[in-house]
Amino acid sequence: MLQHPTLANDGYRLWLQYAPIEKSDLAEGYKQQLQQIYLSNTSATMQVIQDELDLALGKMLALSPRYSSSNNSSTAPGLIIASPSQRPSLNEMITSEEYAALGEEGYLLRTISNGKKTQILITGNTDIALLYGTYELLRKLQTHSSLEKINLQSSPKTAIRVLNHWDNPDRTVERGYAGASIWDWHRLPDYIHPQYLDYARANASIGINGTVLTNVNANAQVLTPYFLRKVAKLAEVFRPYGIKVYLTARFSAPMELGGLSTADPTQPEVQEWWDNKVNEIYEYIPDFGGFLVKADSEGQPGPQNYDRSQAQGANMLAQALKAHQGIVMWRAFVYTNETPDDRAKQAYNEFKPLDGDFDDNVIVQVKNGAIDFQPREPFHPMFGAMPQTPLMMEFQITQEYLGQGTHLVYLAPMYEEVLDTDTYAEGPGTTVAGIIEGRQSGSLLTGMAGVSNIGTDRNWTGHLFGQANWYAFGKLAWDPSLSSEEIAEEWSQMTFTNDPSSTETITRIMMLSHEAAVNYMTPLGLHHIMGWSHHYGPGPWVTDKHRDDWTSTYYHQADRLGIGFDRTVKGSNALGQYAPEIQKLYGNPATCPEKYLLWFHHLPWEYVMPSGRSLWEEIALHYQKGVDQSREMLYAWQSLSTEIDPARYHQVESFLRIQEKEAIWWKDACLLYFQQFSQRPFPKEVEKPEHSLEYYQNYEPKFVPGI
């Protein structure tokens, strides 16, 4: 039953639970190894390392380690945490080539045995690298791994690993489902909420090195001294953790704040205004990261207002930032206010001709798919199409279209699916991951952004399993080739338990969850058929709004003959934006992966699927499968009722029940709606709908959060 709430484990500690290690021989071994630590406490970051070790070893092992920073201390340390500048003798052990390969943030973690004494070494070129290495070692302890033969070198494959907070100055969070914004602007800079430190710890533990504090739908106010003082305070808190702050820049700020009559990037007074503004920002925040910009999209101002290109807009800001080593993350999520023949084509059409025109310190930030964070989308055709432009990935961690705050949907398999896809941009083997690692552009400016799911809820992310998406994002930004399953296992061990069978169950639930959501929401390539504006729940009937490309009927195109969006040459030819190999594969319904079928093709209801069943039957069975899978997840979780602490167990259990209920809602609403066109019966395996179509169409959830 529920524990007294103040005693409950509410999930605040995220994956840094540092649960006591109960297996005594394991704990004893760790203790022996870690009781004496070499660490020269010479910087704020080294202090952070020491504090984290004290906390973690205290909680996991009831150990208060002893520290020394002298090379000739009498007892040999079991753990050495040092860069060669702090301990020159390391140069005898680690070659200069090895150090060079680590770069600025990479670390080396190695067990060295000399005679009878075993030492663990964490080394790297910077203090931040040592911090990352320390978290890696703590991860080993948290997952009860052996320290005997570690030999690990790890350097991030992308340079900018950044959370995007869609947080407004009034603390509302656009598409946020976990309470209010954690940035308490009103009390900053005088009050430092302790959560900022835990935020920094959590991010540093997974290698995130940047945070964009403010919404892409930007408020120019954040660029005023009133806010900059507050931003500077956050930057100060985050600095020892290797986290830089960035802000969103509203394109029209020179008019709104500076009183200019234009924001035209070609006008000298506009450039001058930005130059001065940027200089001012750096006075407050000497290591300010730069700007993230949403321009010419969904009503945001941008260079198009002056008939200028996206490159002209981006380069103006880049020029202002260059002297300070700041960067511009310019979003590719650009689409005009007029309804296009296909919204999926717009960003590519806008940006492709500008390849090579962006300044060196501009990186174009591209969503994983061309529409908008749908439960599943094929990769964005800009990946591979801009060989001379650094492109960074934008994933959404907050689950706007994926069940928001109550559905357990582990997103890493979806991230992985996109990252691993071959774009064929330069023949086979040019994966999306390779492109964002800079292998095509050759640029060192590389990155991955995740739209944050963090808020003031005690467990940070609303749904406890939302934490896994934040965790997985960080891990994949560091190394896009990691396996989502391994990340799930590791997260589950650190967050819940090391018991192998529980870990197996939790991992199974997680690995099932994305496919389940796709099945009960948008199977077989369907997309954008959710409730109007808040995007919560089904809304395949949404039509006749002020713009077609925000309606469901525009995307599913269901009629008496069939369903799906024809993006082949016979239709919008969005497919033409991909490499010929992809066009060939996806262009033919017989070879198009089933998961993208209705994304690219409009097909008759009686179209025969590889299973031998009709398209209609397959759609219906996929919806049913989604419901079945949501139940499977619930039952699997229930089997853990005695393994997981009560508060966390109950939250997840309650939410899984909501998920099952809503999976049924999705299935019934969508199938009844599509049946009007297909005029065919449900296959016998499909459960009878609970209500009429009319009921679902009239059911309108009120006050959905996050809009």
Which amino acid is it at 388? Q
Find how far residue 373's CA is from the centre of its chain: 11
* One-letter amino acid for residue 696 of the chain: Y
- CA atoms of 288 and 248, how far apart (whole Å): 12
Residues 301-340 that bind ligand BDP (CB under 6 A): 333
Interface characters, 245-284, with ligand BDP (x: CB under 6 A): ----------------------------------------
- Known catalytic membership, residue 700: no
Under rule CB under 6 A, which residues in 383-422 are in contact with ligand BDP? 400
Nearer to ligand BDP, 294 or 667 (CB): 294
CB of residue 250 to ligand BDP, shortest distance in Å: 13
Task: Say whether residue 617 binds ligand BDP (CB under 6 A).
Answer: no
Residue among 215 and 430 whose Cβ is closer to ligand BDP: 215
Cα of 398 vs its chain's centroid, Å: 8
CB-count exposure of residue 476 (10 Å: 0-12, 13-18, 19+):
buried
Q: Does 177 bind ligand BDP (CB under 6 A)?
A: no
Identity of the residue, 208 or 216, whose beta carbon is nearer to ligand BDP in the bound complex:
216
Amino acid type, 403: G
Q: Which is nearer to ligand BDP, 53 or 249 (CB)?
A: 249
Q: Of 230, 294, 308, 667, which one interacts with ligand BDP (CB under 6 A)?
A: 294
SS3 sequence of 433-499:
HHHHCCCCCCCCCCEEEEECCCCCCCCCCCCCCHHHHHHHHHHHHHCCCCCHHHHHHHHHHHHCCCC
DSSP string covering 554-570:
HHH---SSEES---STT
Kind plus residue range of the DSSP H or E element containing 254 = helix 253-256
Among candidate residues 22, 170, 269, 298, the one labeled active-site is 298
CB of residue 226 vs ligand BDP: minimum separation in angstroms?
Answer: 24
Residue among 167, 372, 417, 566 that touches ligand BDP (CB under 6 A): 372
Known catalytic membership, residue 372:
yes
416 catalytically annotated: no
Interaction mask 46-65, ligand BDP, x per CB under 6 A: --------------------
Nearer to ligand BDP, 250 or 322 (CB): 250
Q: How far is the CB of 707 from ligand BDP (least distance, A)?
A: 8
Q: How far is the CB of 368 from ligand BDP (least distance, A)?
A: 12
Choose among 389, 347, 392: nearest CA to 372: 347
- Pick between residue 174 and residue 272 the one whose CB is nearest to ligand BDP: 174
Residue nearest ligand BDP, CB atom distance? 372
- Closest by Cα among 641, 643, 563, 560 to 600: 563
* Residue among 339 and 573 whose Cβ is closer to ligand BDP: 339
Question: Least distance to ligand BDP from the beta carbon of 373, Å?
Answer: 5
Question: Quick one: which H or E segment has residue 245?
Answer: strand 244-248
Query: According to the 3-state scheme, what is the secondary structure of 262-289?
Result: CCCCCCHHHHHHHHHHHHHHHHHCCCCC
Residue 641 class from Cβ within 10 Å (0-12 exposed, 13-18 middle, 19+ buried)?
exposed
Instruction: Report the nearest approach of ligand BDP to the CB of residue 43 (Å).
Output: 37
Q: Among 52, 296, 400, 515, which one carries the catalytic annotation?
A: 400
Q: Minimum Å distance from CB 535 to ligand BDP? A: 7
Q: How far is the CB of 619 from ligand BDP (least distance, A)?
A: 25
> Which whole-number Å values give the CA distances from 85 to 51, 89, 240, in the listed order?
22, 9, 18
Q: Counting Cβ atoms within 10 Å, is residue 442 exposed (0-12), middle (13-18) or buried (19+)?
A: exposed
State the nearest-atom distance from the C-beta of 382 to ligand BDP, in Å.
15
The active-site residue out of 52, 296, 372, 489 is 372
Among 9, 47, 217, 557, binds ligand BDP (CB under 6 A): 217
Identify the CA nearest to 511 among candidates 476, 454, 472, 474: 472
Q: Does 291 bind ligand BDP (CB under 6 A)?
A: no
Inter-residue contact 670 to 538 (CB < 8 Å): yes
273 and 319 Cβ atoms separated by less than 8 Å: no
Distance CA 418, CA 459 (A): 28
Nearest of 646, 643, 638, 651 to residue 459 by alpha carbon: 651
Peptide bond into 169 cis (omega under 30): no
**Total site size for ligand BDP, rule CB under 6 A:** 10
Q: How far is the CB of 394 from ligand BDP (least distance, A)?
A: 8
Q: How is residue 88 written in tokens?
A: 């020159």
CB 595 within 8 A of CB 376: yes
373 binds ligand BDP (CB under 6 A): yes
Question: 216 or 488, CB closer to ligand BDP?
Answer: 216
CA distances for 374 relative to 88, 123, 368, 442, 665, angstroms: 52, 41, 9, 30, 18
Chosen residue from 141, 213, 216, 597 binding ligand BDP by CB under 6 A: 216
Closer CB to ligand BDP, residue 57 or residue 253? Answer: 253
Q: What is the CA radius of gyration of the chain?
A: 26
Binding flag, residue 175, ligand BDP (CB under 6 A): yes
Give the residue with the Cβ less far from ligand BDP, 358 or 536.
536
Nearer to ligand BDP by C-beta: 287 or 298? 298
Q: How far is the CB of 173 from ligand BDP (least distance, A)?
A: 10
Nearer to ligand BDP by C-beta: 322 or 331?
Answer: 331
Q: How far apart are CA 214 and CA 232, in angstroms?
A: 14
174 touching ligand BDP, by CB under 6 A: yes
Least distance between ligand BDP and beta carbon 334 (Å): 10
What torsion do the CA atoms of 41, 45, 48, 54 make, to the nearest 10 degrees?
Answer: -40
Of the chain, the end-to-end C-alpha distance in Å amounts to: 35
Told to check if 222 binds ligand BDP by CB under 6 A, we report no
For tokens 């009034």, the residue is 170
User: CA 590 to CA 594: how far, in whole Å?
Assistant: 9
Q: Which residues are catalytic?
A: 298, 372, 400
Q: What residues line the site for ligand BDP (CB under 6 A)?
A: 174-175, 216-217, 294, 298, 333, 372-373, 400
